[in-house]
Chain A
Amino acid sequence: MNSKHSLKITVVLAVFLLSLLYTLPSTTWWSNVFGTLTPEEQNAIPIASFEYLEASQTEADAATGSILKVRANVASELFNRAKNPAKIEDVLNKVADEIRRTLVESKLDVRVVNTDYTDFVITINAANITPDNLKEAVKKTRLYASMPLAITSFFPNKKITLGLDLKGGIDLVYQVDLQSVQDSDNIADAVQRSVEIIRNRIDMYGIAEPSIKAQDNNRIRIQLPGVKDPEGVKQLIQNTAMLQFHIVNYQSTTVDTLGTFDPQSELVLMQPGNAKQTALWYRLNKKPDVTGSDLKYAKVSFDELGRPIVNLEFNSDGAAKFARVTGANLGKQLAIVLDNKVHSAPVIQSRITGGMAQITGNFTFEEAQNLAIVLRAGALPASLIALESRVVGPTLGQKSIDAGVIAGIVGILLVTAYMIFVYKSLGHYANLALVLNTLIVFASLVFFGGTMTMPGIAGLILSLGMAVDANVIIFERIIEEYKSGKTVRASIASGFDRALSCIIDSNITTLLVVAILYAFTAGPIRGFATTLGIGLIANIYTAVVVTKLLLELRYNSGKIKTLNI
């Protein structure tokens, strides 16, 4: 070993350790040991603060159950960062929800019963379980670390990003319907505003890492990974949320009995029927009296029967309009029209002056909440046509990941066994390089924030097969040189020299194709191009630098005079 080698060894070891550093936090083993909650969350809501009580001590009617009190550590780093500190309520709610969800998954009857935002304590109620057993159950959820958390601070706080096909979620492409854009409106501007409004709606709904982009031809692409209720979110996005109030001229159960209709001043709209009520048709004044653009605020509350309703508050302009129209039309019906469908048409009982109104109806709480969000975020300037919509449920992706991992392990075993079979001891070096190669690809994906998709996993496995190619080329050359009568040492040196141009040329052309693939595609296929591309670059490195170093270390001492092939 000389000084040139020791430098190389340091570099190779550093690459290996760095790759390991970036790979480990993404493994299942890691989340089993260090918990599925992030280290920050674990510090913010420490498991040491959990109190397990018998339900009877506090609540007489739930004598058989237990109570878990979860307390936020207000002094923890997450809430006291200089930039962008997390809101205590949000973290507390999220962690409590995770605990509830995982406990429900392990077949416990659990409910979050009480949230105390002054002391930041959440109480979780579990039926038919003793406090000790509940403690065990919480431990088994592996939400929290079973090894000292301090270890994780040596590792990067980054995990592999999974694509929609693996994580579940939605991928939507919308076309802005140009016919629905107002004549006075600029189309490009309408598209841009639509993007902003959709972003607002999604932010209010609370989805992590949304991607909302305007594309060519007045299109909008929306990617939302990990969404649990894709349908609800889809509705949230594509509702134009155009809210209008029209005076009703006539109401009927069929369109034929509406009477004569004057298209100049009137408009015919339907109220869709449901299980309790048949559909209704309305003849309305064409010009809306009040619109959603005068809206100041919208929020969900409950009527006296506990049914969810949406409360509207208008600005002063809207309030004045409201007062005028209700005052002038006492006894008539005022139709609440949402996206060109009549939502309801209550009779005006008195003049409404405060600028407050409410929308009642048969909503579920989620529907009411989504309606409030879209009204608050404002109406879209145009309606959207869904060109493409892909929805993947969250558990389907896990199946694909499992299949990919099995295929990967089988692939590695087959390839490494073959290399040892064909190249004997040389094969071990190729296999070491192969393992390092795989680690580097994975770590680079984590480091650069690339997305792992199912075709991406396939690309990784495929690059296992192709990764040994460079080593095969080198070994064949070494063997050739050796057979021509050179010493082991000289064979290795000239084998590498001669293989180099071939390795570079073949990998660069393949990279060229992969780059074109990357540029022309999106979604899962782009993930494939990414892993294959990184794989090719790592391949050049491991073959030309790592294998060479290993072989030189082994054979350059001059002690080994024969090559076992």
Chain B
Amino acid sequence: MNFKVMKNRKTYYFFSLALIVASILLFLIKGFNYGIDFKGGNIIRVTFDKETNETEIKAAFTKIKDKINADSNRFYFSPDQVVVQAVAEGKQREFIIQYPVANLDTKSTSEIHDTILEELSTLLPYDRSTREISNVGPTLGDEMKKQALQAAFLSVIGILLYLGYRFDFHSASGVIVAVVHDLLIVLGFISLMGIEFDTTVLAAVLTLLGYSVNNSIVIFDRIRENKRISKQTNMLEIIDESVIQSLSRTANTTFTTLLALIALVLYGGSSIHNFSVALTIGCVVGTYSSLVIAAPCIVDIFGLHKKEKSA
């Protein structure tokens, strides 16, 4: 097979580096479309008894505002800030309505949501059994972000320790480089496509950490074995040989995982759609990095190409 990873590695580095730089620029310029889990906010998903439209729903919110403010000035946002989205197969009756989060968690801002719902159901009656309501205040959103970072950081440390123990420090570093590479690029894609970043997408990103590591390990396992038994003596050739030997495994596993993911994207329903899309991107990026980044990069980082196997 004519797949010279090591010979072309600079091209792959360049390609990956370009993607990473683009991703970081995206974080800085475009940022993420955080879901309410992270930034706080309010989502109501309802099926109204009659057909309706965005204008009517927004008009209802104006009435609700007037009514609430007649009692006390508690209505903290403008009806223009209400985002109304019709659900695709909802026959103009099913809608997702979002409105902003208050600045502070207080008793009155947390109670206003119940009043809004109650008023909405008198203005535009809806079926109570089919609705979904999420109100997340500003405090929890910030904490979620912190927890997500902690979880990602701990995962990386855990992987490094385990692999350092089972393999060697070089391999562990290669795996980590690949993981960080995948993480940045996938986050870049999420930012680029404006996928709503909620806890399910976070779970997808963390799962992809596992998947990426999984793929890299298969290759490092082969390298570990080939260092012992191969006729090749040069690290470059050992890596080439190992990558090629694992190639059909990598291809087949990626393919079966992608098949399961495609089923999820197409049939899994709207609640996990973002999650499935993020995983699909992650699956592709993870496979790519395990083939051409994980092992090659340690050669250059630690200068292994100068050494012979016996050394």
> A residues engaging B (CB < 8 A)?
165, 168, 173, 175, 177, 229, 231, 234-235, 238, 272, 279, 383-396, 399-400, 403-404, 406-408, 410-411, 414-415, 418-419, 422, 454-455, 457-459, 461-462, 464-466, 468-469, 472-473, 476, 480, 498, 501-502, 505-510, 512-514, 516-517, 519-521, 523-525, 528-529, 532
Contact = CB atoms under 8 A, between A and B. Distances in A.
B213 A393 contact: no
25 contacts: A175-B105, A177-B107, A386-B110, A388-B137, A389-B110, A392-B132, A395-B129, A396-B45, A403-B269, A414-B260, A419-B256, A454-B271, A458-B268, A458-B275, A462-B261, A465-B261, A466-B257, A468-B253, A469-B214, A476-B246, A506-B214, A509-B163, A510-B214, A513-B155, A528-B207
Contact of B133 (A235, A391, A457, A513): A391
B271 A388 contact: no
A406 B207 CA distance: 22
Given A418-B259, A458-B272, A505-B166, A387 B266 contact: no
B267 A410 contact: yes
B134 interface: yes
Interface in B20-70: 45
B139 interface: yes
Contacts of B209: 513
**A-B pairs with the 3 shortest C-beta distances?**
A403-B269, A465-B260, A465-B257
B213 A465 contact: no
A513 B140 contact: no
Nearest to B208: A513
Contacts of A454: 269, 271-272
Given A393-B129, A509-B159, A509-B213, A476 B249 contact: yes
Contacts of A525: 199-200, 202-203
B267 A532 contact: no
Given A385-B110, A403-B269, A525-B200, A509 B260 contact: no
A389 B256 CA distance: 38
Given A388-B136, A468-B253, A501-B221, 8 more contacts: A391-B131, A391-B134, A393-B127, A411-B259, A461-B263, A464-B260, A505-B167, A519-B151
A272 B268 contact: no
Contacts of B132: 390-393, 396
B23 to A, nearest CB: 21
B80 interface: no
A166 to B, nearest CB: 10
A513 to B, nearest CB: 4
Interface stretch (B2-10, B111-119, B303-311): B111-119
B20 to A, nearest CB: 21
B272 A235 contact: no
B180 interface: no
Given A173-B140, A389-B134, A404 B159 contact: no
Contacts, number: 237
A387 to B, nearest CB: 4
A516 B267 contact: no
Contact of A399 (B222, B260, B269): B269
B124 interface: no
A387 B40 CA distance: 9
Contact of A512 (B45, B150, B158, B272): B158
A473 B133 contact: no
Given A388-B136, A461-B268, A501-B221, A529 B259 contact: no
B268 A473 contact: no
A393 B117 CA distance: 14
B17 interface: no
Nearest to B134: A390
B258 interface: yes
Name the prevailing secondary structure of the A interface residues.
helix
Contacts of A498: 225
Contacts of B155: 512-513, 516-517
A499 to B, nearest CB: 9
B130 interface: yes
Contacts of B133: 389-391
A480 B272 contact: no
Central interface residue in A388, A404, A510, by most chain B CB within 10 Å: A388
B294 to A, nearest CB: 13
Contacts of B203: 455, 517, 521, 525, 528-529
B110 A517 contact: no
Given A385-B106, A458-B276, A468-B256, A231 B117 contact: yes
Contacts of A272: 71
A462 B114 contact: no
Contacts of A391: 131-134
Contacts of A410: 263, 266-267
Nearest to B220: A505
A396 B207 CA distance: 26
A386 B202 CA distance: 24
B248 interface: yes
A385 B272 contact: no
Contacts of B167: 505
B185 interface: no
A192 to B, nearest CB: 21
Given A395-B130, A418-B256, A462 B200 contact: no
Nearest to A467: B256
A454 B218 CA distance: 30
A384 B105 CA distance: 11
Contacts of B256: 415, 418-419, 464-466, 468-469, 472
Contacts of B136: 387-388
B234 interface: no
A385 B105 contact: yes
A387 B264 contact: no
A532 B199 CA distance: 16
B255 interface: yes
Contact of A502 (B105, B200, B217, B257): B217
B76 interface: no
Contacts of B200: 455, 524-525, 528
Interface in B264-300: 264, 266-269, 271-272, 275-276, 279
A203 B271 CA distance: 32
Contacts of A406: 267
A200 B204 CA distance: 39
Given A410-B266, A458-B268, A525-B199, A513 B110 contact: no
Contact of A513 (B129, B150, B159, B253): B159
Contact of A422 (B106, B147, B151, B252): B252
B221 A516 contact: no
Contacts of B225: 498
A473 B249 contact: yes
Contacts of A385: 105-107, 110, 137
Nearest to B200: A455
B129 A469 contact: no
A414 B264 CA distance: 12
